[in-house]
Every structure is written in structure tokens, then in C-alpha cells.
Structure 1
Amino acid sequence: MVEMVRRHLGLGLVAMLLSCAAFGTSGPFAKALMTAGWTPGAVVLTRITGAAVLLLPFTLWAMRGRWRQVAHEMPRVALYGTLAVAAAQLGYFQAVARMPVGVALLIEYLGIVLVVLWVWALTRVAPHRLTGVGIVLAVAGLALVLDVTGQSTPSLVGVLWGLLAATGLAGHYVLAGRPTRVPATAFAGLGLAVGAVSLALLGLLGVLPMHRGAGPVLVAGSEIPAWLAIAELVVVAAALAYVLGVLGARHLGSTLSSFVGLTEVLFAVLFAWLVLSELPGLVQVVGGVVLLSGVVAVRLGERDEARRDARAVEADFDVPTPVA
């Protein structure tokens, strides 16, 4: 039995790390396309549409015989696709077009802190002390990442797009973390489809520019066809990343998988260096370490709160029976 648990944990860890590495390639390859004349909207729409098509057979298979059961949960799926898929990815790619990939992703990861602040505002219950420390560290790290007093301050517009991505990431944690009858693979596939439709409508209405570049793409100092970069974004950075992420989360659980998920920042910085020869400054690296430390502290605080609540529930049900 112990060997089986270890094998599952090992499988989950490998799947989650591969998922993070796959997601980490999205920013560098998207930025390479945007440098070649593609608009962020066109890159995002192409990526999530392609991923939705690739996952369509798996989505339909997972939903067979369940459409009537989960019909009432479709509004939640639609909100997930609009917020956690379309808004998150559009915000991230728009930010990547205006600042280093690593900096944009660090801003997006503030979404974890936004979830805590949102729950705090709704419940009026102060978070765990460790969570509070994590929030302070995350804000301090963000100030360093943005280098507000230095010479490499990112574009304000890029920061705002990054905050939109953070809001979308917060939506992912809130919406995807709730119990649902929709299978995980179908939830991701349907969310991608909704996100693609949302962005396509914005493009048709002229709200979101949709322009494709005509030439090749420069990757790691060499020119490659644009379709090859698109294929990487669709197959590796979207479809494969989502499937591996679902597999990893199922074996590791939400808490451990969220910690492992932080490695996406490291992978994104590595791929940005390999693909674009792009590295953040020293102050931003220090800020990134502080920010991620804050996110880890927030997660640890949430874990302790969950354990405390679980013990409280057990205590409520473990009431001694009075002796007559």
C-alpha cells in the first residue's frame, strides 16, 4: 500500500512539474510571435481555440450521459471560461508584450493573494497570521519587482494588464476549486471553448485587435515558421499543460499542487532566457523571491486554517453521549 501511494505521489509530482514547464513556455513563444507582428488578442485566440479543439474529443467523452445532470452548472463554466481563461490569458499576454516575461508572471501570481483578500472582505474574518505575513511579503516583493524607484520600471499599462491576469487567476482558484459534477477534463475543455468564443466576439466587434504577422518568428536566435510557434502554444503550452495539470492535481491534492505550481515562474524565466535572451534585473529577481515567499506563506496559512476547521468539525461530531 505504501509503495502505491509513493508511486502516485511521484507520478503527480512529475506531471505537475511537466505541466508547469509547459505553461512556462507560453510567455516566451507568445512574445516571439508578438515581436513578429502578431497582436496579443490574435495569439491568445489562436492558442485557446486550438487547445479547445484538441481537447474536444476528451471533453465529449467525459460528458457522455451527463449533459442534463450538469446543465445547471453551465453558467459557472461560462464564468470560468470568460474570467479564468480569456481574461487571465489576454491580460498575461498583453503584459508580456510590454515587460519581461518573468515580471508579468509574478504580477499574475498575485491572484493567490487576491483570493485571500476577497474571502476576508466577504466573511469579515481575519486571515491566519501566517497568511497576513504572506500578504505583506507579497506586496513588498511586488514593489521590488516593479522597481518603483529604479530605472527599469515596467510600463503602467503592462502592470494593469498583469493585474487583470491576476484577477483571472484568482477566478481560476475560486471557480475551479469548488465541488462540481462536471469532470475536470470537461471543465477545462468547456472553459477553453467559452474563452475562445468570448475573445472571438470581441474581435468581431472590433474591441480587440486581431492581426497576424506575415513573416517568420525569431526563437533562440533562429527564424522558425510562425505556425511552429503557434503549434507549440496550442499543443504544449495549452492542451498538454492543462491535461498534465489536472493529472498532477488529482494525485497531489490542491494544496501540494499549488505549491509545485509556483515553479512555473522559474520555468518561464528560464525559457525567456533561452528563447528571447531576456532576464529580469537583480532588483526584480530579489523582488520575485520575496513575492514568491509571500505566496508560499499565504498557502501555508490557508493550509493551517483548513486543518483547524477540519478539527473543529470533528470536535462537533465527537460529542460524548450523556449517561442516563
Structure 2
Amino acid sequence: MGLALVSAASFGLSGALATPLLASGWTAGSVVLVRIGLAALIVAPFGVRALRGRWSLLRRNAGLIAMYGALAVAAAQFCYFSAVSHMQVGPALLIEYTAPAAVVVWLWLRHGQRPGPVTLVGAGLCALGLVLVLDLLSGADLSVPGVLWALGAMVGCATYFIVNGDESTGLPPIALAAGGLVAGAAVLALLGLVGLMPMTIDGAPVDYLGTSVPVWLPLVLLGVVTAAVAYVTGIAAARRLGSRLASFVALSEVVAGVLWAWLLLDQLPGPVQLLGGALILAGVLGVKLGERTVVGAEPDAVPA
């Protein structure tokens, strides 16, 4: 649980760090590429060391690593930023964060792990909490392209949790993170080269709460904290918690994002958002208790 919460808090920091960069002229594509590319450079040496010369693991799982990088890293990022270019951030996040429900359905259909009533109640509390945290009750316009892009981000997010919880690959968590980040960075760079993801940068300092900082500082934090630390701890957590529980704990990323925006951007959360955060935490507790009543195979048991 500790690892999962560290991962969620790290991922949640990305929005508050990136907002001033986007306001100063950076495009979302350039921020994401720097973030994932820097994380790949940091994690790759540790991933190689964790393999301890077992290169056969890489060859055997090459397809899985490529899929993980393309879907769980690159597609999740690219589709989300494409979604918010067509619709408001709140609804886009709500659609993307239906990923835990997709994980539950996948484990039920693929591995026979039928969720119990406590898990379903916890999932319902999480869904209600998301609606409140994202402040969707005030109304928001939806667009068909935006919804489709957000669903693509949801698929990438669900893939992240399902692959993370699969121990049958034999890959150490940090090796999977390294491979996925390298593959994801390559896909994002390709999208930039062919013009599907606009790339614009600006070297001017950026402001956080009236304090001007050099542009390299938030970029380094984005790569080190919100990508390298976030992916490694997220994979390690999913190996211990299983895909289902890890995906629901990750919903606390939304709560963390609101709190980081408060601390760095002075965007104070309202009482409704705080209530939503409490409901998400209560829902995660319900899903945790419901893990004891899952009917079917052991959590994330995958045939070798």
C-alpha cells in the first residue's frame, strides 16, 4: 500500500508541475517526451543491473515490453492529452479513471475472478468520489472525438495495471519499468517526428506561487519523480497487491493532484472535492476488504 500511495502521489504531481510549462509556451507533447525520455535514461541502468545477465528474459518478453511501452506509457499519455484538446479535463479524467472497472472485468472474464459485493460497493464509492473531486456536478460539454481519445487513455491505463500485476513474465519490476519507458519514449519521439504530436519548447523561467524557477527544475522533477519513481513504485506495488487493488489505490492520484495544485498553484480545493477524496479513500478500503471474498482464481494468477 505504501508503494502504491507513493506512486499515486508521484503521478499526481505531474499536473501541477506541467501547468506553468504549458502556460509559458510548451506543448503537451514536448513536456511528455522530456518527462518519459528522462525517466528512461534514469531507470534503464537499474533495469539492466536487475536482469543480472538474464538477457533471455528480455528476448522472451520483447513483445510484452513493446506493448507495455506503446499502450501503458505512450498511448495513455498521448490519448489523454488529445482528449483534453477536445473536452474539459474533468470528464476526460473521469473516463480515463474507469480503468479499475476495466481491470475488474478483465480479471473476471479472463481469469474467473468474480468480484464480491464488498468490492462492488467500494468501486461505487470510488466512482462517486471521482465525480465530486473532479467537480463534474457543475456540468461539462462532451465531444465524440474527446470521449474516444479518453477511452483510448483508459485502455492504456488498464494495460498498465494488468501487466504490472503479472509475475509470470519473470521480469524484475524495475526491468519492466525500464523497458516500458524506453519503448514509450521511442513511440512518443516517433509521434513527434511525423507531426502527430506537436513539439514546442520555451527556455524562459516559470512561476510557482509567484516564485520564478529555471525551466530545467520542473522538467527534472517531472522525469525523476512523476515518471521514474512513479512507474517503478507502481509496478512494485502491483506485484504485491495484484492488478485489481493496485488500480483502485491509484485513484488516490486524483486526490494527490488536487492537493499538489493547492500547494504549488494556490488552487484551493473546495469542500465538495475534499468530500470526494474521502469517498475515494473509503472506496479503496472497501476494495481492499473485498479482496478476501473474490470468487475464482488467486489474484492475478496467470498460467506460465
Query: TM-score higher than 0.5 here?
Result: yes
In the alignment, which residue of structure 2 is the partner of 1:200?
189
Q: In the aligned structure 2, how far is the partner of 1:140 from the partner of 1:80?
A: 30
Q: Does residue 30 of the first structure (1) align with residue 2 of the second (2)?
A: no
CA distance 1:95–1:217, shift in 2 (3 Å):
farther
2:213 is equivalent to residue 224 of structure 1: yes
Instruction: Tell me, yes or no, if structure 1 residue 278 matches structure 2 residue 267.
Output: yes
Task: Select the residue among 228, 231, 236 that pairs with 1:242.
Answer: 231
1:210 and 2:202 correspond: no
Cα pair 1:31 1:93 within 8 Å, conserved:
no
Q: Answer yes or no: is 1:127 the counterpart of 2:115.
A: yes
Of the two, which has the highest radius of gyration? 1
Question: How far apart are the structure 2 equivalents of 1:69 and 1:275?
Answer: 42
Mapped to 1, the partners of 2:269 and 2:79 lie a distance apart of 19
Q: How far, CA to CA, are the matches of 1:86 and 1:162 in structure 2?
A: 14
**Matched position secondary structure for 1:207:** coil
Q: Which runs of 5+ in 2 are unaligned?
A: 299-304
Question: Residues 59 and 189 of structure 1 are in contact (CA less than 8 Å); yes or no, is this contact kept in structure 2?
Answer: yes
Query: Which residues in structure 2 correspond to 1:256-275 (within 5 Å)?
Result: 261-275=250-264
Return the offset for 1:167. 2.3
Task: Tell me the SS of whatever aligns to 1:68.
Answer: helix
Q: 1:249–1:242: structure 2 CA closer, same or farther, 3 Å change rule?
A: same
Residues 121/181 of structure 1: CA separation in 2 closer, same or farther (3 Å cut): closer
Higher mean displacement: 169-178 or 211-220: 211-220
SS at match of 2:61: helix
Alpha-carbon shift at residue 220 of structure 1 (Å): 2.1
* Aligned counterpart, 1:173: 161
Report deviation, 1:243. 3.7
Mapped contact 2:252–2:277 kept (Cα < 8 A)? no
Distance 1:303 1:258, change over 3 A: farther
* More divergent stretch after superposition (182-191 vs 130-139): 130-139
Q: Per the alignment, in what secondary structure is the counterpart of residue 223 of structure 1?
A: strand
The amino acid that maps onto 2:70 is: T
Quick one: distance in 1 between partners of 2:233 and 2:108? 32
Contact kept? 1:103, 1:284, Cα under 8 Å: no
User: Residue 267 of structure 1: CA displacement?
Assistant: 2.4
Task: Check 1:177–1:39 CA distance in 2 against 1; reply closer, same or farther (3 A cut).
Answer: same
Distance verdict in 2 for CA 1:265–1:103, change over 3 Å: farther
**Alpha-carbon distance in 2 for matches of 1:220, 1:124:** 50
Q: Deviations over 1:246-303 (max 9, x none)?
A: 55666x6447766654443332211111222224554455445445544554454344
Query: Which of residues 57, 60, 66 in structure 1 aligns to 2:48?
Result: 60
Q: Which amino acid aligns with 2:153?
A: A
Aligned residue in 2 for 1:109: 97
1:75 maps to 2:26: no
Structure 1 297/169 Cα, relative in aligned 2: closer, same or farther at 3 Å?
Answer: farther
Q: Which moved more, 1:276-285 or 1:174-183?
A: 276-285
CA distance in 2, matches of 1:127, 1:249: 18
Superposed CA deviations along residues 119-178 of structure 1, whole A, max 9, x for unmatched, are 445578853223333444444445555655525x37657666554333222111111211
Partner amino acid, structure 1, of 2:39: A
Q: 1:215 to 1:292 in 2, by over 3 A?
A: same
Distance 1:148 1:21 in 2: 22
Which residue of 66, 71, 77 maps to 1:89?
A: 77
Matches of 2:178 and 2:68, distance apart in 1: 11
Question: How high is the sequence identity, in percent, across the aligned residues?
Answer: 46
Query: What secondary structure is seen at the aligned counterpart in 2 of 1:218?
Result: strand
CA gap 1:188/1:181 in 2 versus in 1, 3 angstroms: same
Query: Which segments of 5 or more consecutive residues in structure 1 lack a partner in the other structure?
Result: 1-11, 311-324
CA distance in 1 between counterparts of 2:112 and 2:236 reads 35
State the superposition RMSD in angstroms: 3.5
Structure 1 residues 205 and 77: CA distance shift in structure 2, 3 A? same
Query: Residue 304 of structure 1: CA displacement?
Result: 2.0
Which has the larger displacement, 169-178 or 183-192?
169-178
Q: 1:162 to 1:284 in 2, by over 3 A?
A: farther
